[in-house]
Amino acid sequence: MNINLLLLIFLISTPTLFGQEPTIVKKGKIIMPLKKELILKAQIKKEKIVKFEIIEEKDLTEPSEFMNAMKDKPESFDDIYIKFNTSDFGILLTVVHQLKKPIIYKAKIKIKGRQEFVETNIHPCFPNVISVEQWGDDIEKIELYDFKYFKE
């Protein structure tokens, strides 16, 4: 067997062998695979979050319990905490932030077996309040973008 073919097979299977694929953060956009937990620092300009810095990223091995989702956050964190995980009631996205005002953002989900991301609805998130979104779809990744302060 050709050594290049072996190397290609190894590189393709690396995320599966050594853990999940990483979260991608580009400016104000986050693409995260299922079973991830993030703590982020936000850079804000003119009422819009323009850049994120990952402070902590953790792979999750156990599903979340839906009834505990409203208590599910770390003791302390910087600006934003995000958890994207399976649960006993489908897929859950948990977001908590400590910014000065409520925020809103857009989201797209990538459903298993599909090539493209599909837009989905997200509710505004208020400071220090746990926000939980739930889907029954078999989602592989989520893209969160266009973060800004929510104007009531």
**Strand 29-33 vs strand 80-87: parallel, antiparallel, or unpaired?**
unpaired
User: Residues 108-117: pLDDT tens digits?
Assistant: 999 999 999 9
Closest CA to 32 of 144, 149, 151: 144
User: Residues 14-70: pLDDT tens digits?
Assistant: 444 445 788 999 988 999 999 999 999 999 998 889 999 999 999 999 888 877 766
The values of phi and psi at residue 131, to 5°, are -110, 130
Rounded CA-CA distance 135/35 in Å is 14
pLDDT at 9 exceeding the cut of 70: no
The partner residues of 103 in beta bridges, in order of sequence, read 125, 149
User: Residues 61-93: pLDDT tens digits?
Assistant: 988 887 776 666 777 787 999 999 999 889 999
- Token pair 């703590």 in the structure block, residue: 39
Can you give the pLDDT at residue 101?
94
Contact 85, 95 (CB under 8 A): no
